[in-house]
């Protein structure tokens, strides 16, 4: 009997005529299963861990399996999208055959071979005639006097189109030998605008010239905007050579692993590459092709995000592949430490190599208020004097922490202009066409020669401001820091109005890289020979920013700050098995380099007094390893397990695997494991809200009164007790606002809370996945059910029990969903049953809107599940379930779209007792009907068994 589609609720009781094993079709085949691993599978590109078998409980055993539901490492070539290592992986034999079948790909490969052959005959033979100092520990500090400019003609003609100039500049010429004529690792420190990208391109050419088939180049930058800029540039430059370049960041969900596999240059962030290398064992066939690893802005090692970069590179080094490491950095004093870490040479270039000389000024302005927003308001009244003093009548960029602050700067400047009877700060003889400007305030400012620029403006308004500023029709633009990382608008004067910025719901100090990016906008190469950067800050921070601006701040490691999470990853990978292997791993990190130079900074107890004997690097490393391993074992995330040889070795528990898989903080993991009685969706939401991942968020002006005002809103299902007081209260209510379709935009706060909600949902989704895995391992079916509901609600951005599920369809928002419901169309089945014309009439829309809705509806899974069961002839309380699952959609369902993974969850319970859970791609189910068999021991023969198949991302898409 075939069970129906969504919203059908039939329970399979043990009263039907039994089907015995003699009648079992051949599709059901016995496989072995590891009952010690009890973890579910999440196979999206970001979170898949493919070497961990899925949960099997003591009350259920797999007897027959379909490959798409396999709970152990897969060796079947037709694995339906599961990525595995070895010759049958997506990077293995089958995938390479698919690549070879692609004619365009063949042509690209042929182009690469031709270019490589030319390079080997024209360039590489010259290497034997050169004596190039490039070994580890080499330190080169070139001066203008000892550098000869090098011509692009040195490069084979086929590669010359990459460079849009005829001669390399001084800095690039000094680096050319080591970048192009050796395979040595090296790091370059040079001022902003010195031409570091050209050096990286020389290193890329060397990798291409070596001509290893299928070799790949990794470029890593700290920001997604920088990655996007570099990917777009290189895609155009290298396309004619048959070299493909793809961006692989959090903004490129459309970029599949298959596309990355076919790319030659992969542009990524530390966080994204960390998620990849956490599973490098599964991606061996990809990793072994990496020949060049490039790190841009490597000075981020000094920041918290630098810990991820450090962990990534150290992990790459443990893979024991021949990889060349190249890094570029802003001016730093301890460049040789970075070079020692990478095992290469250091090339340091002074400020003399900056194409435009830069004046740097830091003002420490006294402030006695209690809010940095008040400080920024005070700085608004300082701006006019700063502009008059430092701009020389030339273009000015003012960087502000928020959109509102950017606009308030213009308002104060306008008041001061009126007071001083200044008509305009732009070019007086030029007129500005403001007829198409959509923002009324912006219209008023533009006429006075000033403007503001941020993501809240219409795209056309932003483009107009950029155009007018470039044409010098307006002279001053007040903007947010994002402009420094995106649009290239250099100015003579850059003013950083306050050194705080609003990020992820919190007011924090600008990072070093953000400051350097903003300062780098000062001075216009080709237009003038000087620029000026001004920082306005408080007196207590004045010296810090002087140090940063002068490049005299030592780069220290931040890995020790969250080392326990990275150590958990290495335990999962098998790199760390005890204190000795932990020490060996740490010796591959930049942290170890700095411990040797500055051990006191990294001691575990900073308040204790240490003798010279205890400040040795080995002593410090041993203390760090012991402390972090103890934290993991005491939290039941790792255990000392005895190997086959009788040796104790660290091994990750199921909880540790989940922590690593979803990048969960240790404190959050401990909170999850200590939680009890999660018997409702409210309990699960409260647990998620307590996560340490939200600790950086803060309350901004107006948030507490606004959130308190929502307590009586009918769409807030779970009001808090009393008033909003903690960040967890904020998270708890913001998630409910999103799921309940409550607007987070206000006149006082603007859209700041809206943008915070995006980050909150990303964290909450990841944490919910981790809780699901823990529930499966614990066989806690009640908590599992409610966590699945919450996760699905977060993915759908609406409560799972919402009466308006149609709002999940592309082009149908909350208003249209309510309109359809009033017309008697409130479920997916009802929408499928009406024609396109009826939809257009109800929603008052013109064709082809109805067909567009039907098209979008076609990719929402339509599940079919059939369950047959029989009693074991030997054990009266053991039931054998034979389950088949498929989808009946005729339209091809994509693997991923709009952030939705299109996966199905199949799980089984018996009177609130957990039996089984598994997950597979919807594409697998669309290819053919899938089968698996489960044996379950029940308390008594009359126990109800419920089998669920449901969409992971869409609410109210299921069969029971």
Q: H or E stretch including 536?
A: strand 530-537
- Provide the pLDDT for residue 604: 66
Long-range pairs for 712-715 at CB < 8 Å and ≥24 separation?
713/740, 713/742, 715/740, 715/741, 715/742
Within 10 A of 197 (CB to CB), how many other CB atoms are there?
A: 14
For residue 482, pLDDT over 80 is answered with: no
* 311: Cβ contacts below 8 Å, ≥ 6 apart: 274, 559, 566, 569, 589
What is the chain's alpha carbon radius of gyration, rounded to the nearest angstrom? 30
- Provide the pLDDT for residue 260: 74
Residue 946's φ and ψ, nearest 5 degrees, are -120, 125
For residue 401, pLDDT over 90 is answered with: no
Nearest to 515 by CA among 352, 303, 373: 303
Q: H or E stretch including 745?
A: none
Structure tokens at 88: 């049958």
Confidence of residue 35 (pLDDT cuts 50, 70, 90): very low
Between 113-127, 670-684, 829-843, 895-909, the lowest mean confidence (pLDDT) is in 113-127
Where does residue 478 rank: exposed (0-12), middle (13-18), buried (19+ CB within 10 A)? buried
Nearest to 495 by CA among 405, 366, 404: 405
Per cent of the chain over pLDDT 90 is 47
- Provide the pLDDT for residue 122: 55
Confidence of residue 52 (pLDDT cuts 50, 70, 90): very low
For residue 576, pLDDT over 80 is answered with: yes
**227-233 mean pLDDT:** 90
CA 881-882-887 angle, 5° bins: 125
* 189 vs 375, residue with greater confidence: 189
* Alpha helices (H) in 262-332, listed in sequence order: 270-277, 284-287, 306-318
Structure tokens at 509: 């100090």
**Average pLDDT taken over every residue of the chain:** 81
Rounded-to-integer distance, Cα 621 and Cα 632, Å: 17
Rounded-to-integer distance, Cα 348 and Cα 189, Å: 5
| Structure-derived torsion over alpha carbons of residues 539, 542, 543, 546, reported in degrees to the nearest 10 | -160
How far, rounded to the nearest angstrom, does the alpha carbon of residue 109 sit from its chain's CA centroid?
31
Strands 945-951 and 930-937: unpaired
The answer to whether 742 touches 619, Cβ cutoff 8 Å, is no
For residue 529, pLDDT over 90 is answered with: no
CA distances from 599 to 189, 308, 337, 557 (A): 25, 21, 14, 11
Structure tokens at 356: 């435009």
- Provide the pLDDT for residue 114: 60
Between 168-172, 266-270, 653-657, 747-751, the lowest mean confidence (pLDDT) is in 747-751
* 778-806 confidence digits (pLDDT tens): 999 999 999 999 999 999 999 998 999 99
Nearest to 127 by CA among 177, 185, 186: 177
- Provide the pLDDT for residue 874: 80
For residue 51, pLDDT over 60 is answered with: no
For residue 146, pLDDT over 50 is answered with: yes
Between 86-100, 323-337, 512-526, 785-799, the lowest mean confidence (pLDDT) is in 86-100
**272-297 mean pLDDT:** 84
- Provide the pLDDT for residue 887: 93
3-state secondary structure of 326: strand
**179-203 mean pLDDT:** 92
DSSP state of 54: P
Rounded-to-integer distance, Cα 167 and Cα 543, Å: 40
Q: pTM of the entire structure?
A: 0.80
Nearest to 756 by CA among 700, 810, 812: 700
**163-189 mean pLDDT:** 94
Give the strands of the sheet with 476-480, arranged side by side.
357-364, 530-537, 493-497, 396-400, 476-480, 450-453
Where does residue 268 rank: exposed (0-12), middle (13-18), buried (19+ CB within 10 A)? buried
What is the torsional sign of CA 822, 824, 828, 831?
A: negative
Q: What is the DSSP string of 447-511?
A: TTTEEEE-TTS-HHHHHHHHHHHHTTSS-EEEEETHHHHSS---BSEEEEE-SEEEETTEEEEPP
DSSP state of 763: H
CA distances from 28 to 80, 275, 934, 935, 957 (A): 18, 35, 10, 13, 27
Rounded-to-integer distance, Cα 141 and Cα 145, Å: 12
Between 86-95, 309-318, 536-545, the lowest mean confidence (pLDDT) is in 86-95
Q: What is the DSSP string of 603-619?
A: -S-TTS---GGGGSHHH
**158-163 mean pLDDT:** 91
Strands 500-503 and 396-400: unpaired
Rounded-to-integer distance, Cα 137 and Cα 717, Å: 62
**260-279 mean pLDDT:** 87
CA atoms within 13 A of residue 400's CA, in its CB half-sphere: 26
DSSP state of 861: -
Report the 3 state secondary structure along 227-265: HHHHHHHHHHHHHHHCCCEEEECCCCCCCCHHHHHCCCE
Place of tokens 């800095």: 171
The answer to whether 63 touches 50, Cβ cutoff 8 Å, is no
């Amino acid at each position: 009997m075939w069970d129906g589609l969504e919203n059908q609720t039939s329970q399979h009781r043990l009263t039907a005529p039994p089907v015995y094993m003699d009648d079992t079709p051949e599709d059901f085949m016995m496989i072995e299963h590891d009952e010690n691993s009890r973890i579910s599978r999440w196979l999206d590109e970001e979170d898949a861990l493919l070497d961990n078998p899925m949960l099997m409980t003591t009350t259920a055993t797999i007897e027959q399996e379909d490959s798409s539901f396999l709970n152990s490492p897969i060796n079947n070539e037709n694995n339906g999208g599961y990525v595995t290592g070895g010759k049958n992986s997506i990077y293995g034999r089958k995938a390479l055959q698919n690549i070879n079948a692609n004619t365009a790909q063949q042509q690209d490969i042929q182009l690469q071979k031709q270019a490589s052959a030319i390079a080997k005959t024209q360039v590489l033979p010259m290497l034997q005639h050169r004596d190039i100092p490039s070994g580890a520990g080499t330190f080169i500090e070139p001066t203008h006097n000892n550098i000869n400019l090098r011509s692009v003609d040195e490069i084979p003609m086929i590669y010359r189109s990459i460079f849009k100039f005829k001669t390399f500049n001084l800095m690039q010429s000094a680096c050319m030998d080591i970048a192009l004529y050796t395979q040595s690792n090296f790091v370059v420190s040079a001022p902003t605008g010195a031409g570091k990208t050209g050096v990286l391109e020389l290193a890329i050419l060397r990798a291409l010239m070596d001509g290893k088939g299928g070799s790949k180049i990794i470029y890593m930058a700290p920001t997604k905007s920088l990655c996007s800029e570099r990917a777009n540039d290189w895609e155009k430059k290298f396309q004619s050579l048959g070299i493909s370049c793809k961006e692989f960041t959090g903004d490129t969900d459309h970029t599949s692993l298959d596309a990355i596999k076919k790319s030659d240059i992969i542009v990524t962030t530390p966080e994204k590459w960390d998620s990849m290398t956490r599973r490098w064992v599964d991606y061996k066939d990809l990793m072994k092709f990496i020949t060049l690893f490039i790190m841009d802005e490597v000075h981020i090692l000094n920041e918290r995000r630098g810990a991820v970069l450090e962990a990534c590179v150290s992990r790459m080094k443990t893979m024991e592949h021949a990889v060349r490491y190249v890094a570029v950095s802003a001016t730093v004093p301890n460049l040789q430490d970075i070079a020692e870490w990478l095992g290469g040479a250091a090339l340091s270039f002074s400020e003399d190599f900056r194409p435009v000389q830069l004046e740097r000024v830091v003002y420490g302005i006294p402030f006695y208020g209690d809010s940095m927003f008040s400080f920024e308001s005070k700085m608004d009244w300082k701006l006019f004097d700063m502009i008059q003093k430092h701009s020389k009548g030339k273009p000015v960029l003012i960087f502000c922490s928020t959109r509102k602050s950017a606009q308030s700067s213009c308002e104060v400047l306008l008041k001061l202009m009126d007071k001083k009877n200044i008509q305009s700060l732009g070019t007086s003889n030029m007129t500005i066409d403001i007829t198409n400007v959509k923002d009324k305030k912006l219209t008023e400012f533009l006429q006075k020669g000033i403007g503001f620029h941020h993501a809240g403006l219409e795209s056309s308004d932003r483009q107009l401001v950029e155009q007018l500023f470039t044409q010098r029709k307006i002279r001053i633009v007040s903007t947010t820091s994002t402009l420094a990382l995106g649009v290239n608008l250099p100015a003579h004067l850059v003013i950083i109005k306050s050194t705080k910025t609003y990020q992820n719901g919190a007011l924090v100090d600008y990072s070093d890289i953000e400051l350097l990016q903003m300062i780098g906008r000062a001075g216009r190469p080709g237009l003038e020979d000087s620029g000026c950067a001004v920082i306005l800050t408080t007196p207590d921070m004045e010296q810090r920013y002087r140090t940063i601006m002068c490049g005299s701040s030592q780069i220290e490691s931040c890995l020790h700050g969250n080392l326990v999470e990275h150590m958990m990853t290495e335990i999962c990978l098998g790199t760390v098995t005890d204190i000795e292997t932990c020490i060996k791993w740490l010796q591959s990190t930049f942290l170890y380099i700095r411990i040797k130079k500055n051990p006191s900074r990294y001691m575990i107890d900073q308040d204790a007094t240490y003798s010279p004997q205890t400040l040795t690097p080995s002593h410090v490393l041993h203390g760090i390893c012991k402390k972090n391993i103890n934290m993991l074992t005491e939290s039941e995330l790792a255990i000392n397990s005895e190997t086959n040889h009788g040796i104790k070795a660290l091994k990750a528990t199921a909880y540790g695997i989940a922590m690593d898989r979803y990048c969960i903080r240790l404190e959050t993991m401990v909170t999850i494991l200590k939680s009890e009685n999660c018997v409702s969706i409210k309990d699960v939401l409260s647990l998620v809200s307590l996560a340490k991942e939200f600790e950086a968020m803060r309350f901004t002006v107006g948030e507490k009164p606004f959130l308190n005002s929502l307590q009586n809103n009918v769409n807030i299902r779970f009001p808090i007790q009393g008033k909003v007081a903690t960040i967890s209260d904020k998270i708890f209510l913001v998630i409910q606002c999103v799921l309940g379709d409550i607007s987070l935009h206000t006149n006082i706060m603007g859209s700041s809370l809206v943008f915070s909600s995006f980050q909150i949902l990303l964290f909450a989704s990841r944490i919910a996945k981790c809780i699901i895995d823990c529930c499966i391992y614990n066989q806690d079916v009640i908590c599992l059910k409610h966590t699945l509901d919450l996760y699905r609600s977060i993915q759908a951005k609406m409560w799972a029990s919402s009466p308006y599920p149609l709002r999940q369809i592309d082009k149908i928002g909350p208003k249209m969903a309510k309109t359809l419901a009033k017309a008697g169309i409130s479920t997916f089945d009802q929408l499928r049953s009406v024609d396109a014309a009826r939809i257009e009439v109800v929603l008052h829309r013109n064709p082809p809107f109805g067909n567009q809705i039907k098209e979008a509806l076609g990719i929402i899974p339509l599940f079919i599940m059939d369950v047959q069961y029989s009693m074991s002839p030997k054990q009266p309380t053991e039931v054998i379930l034979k389950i088949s699952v498929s989808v009946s959609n005729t339209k091809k369902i994509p693997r991923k779209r709009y952030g939705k993974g299109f996966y199905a969850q199949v799980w089984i319970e018996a009177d609130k007792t957990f039996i089984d859970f598994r997950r597979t791609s919807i594409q697998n189910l669309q290819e053919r009907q899938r089968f698996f068999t489960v044996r379950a021991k029940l308390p008594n023969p009359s126990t109800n068994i419920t089998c669920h198949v449901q969409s992971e991302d869409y609410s109210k898409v299921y069969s029971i």
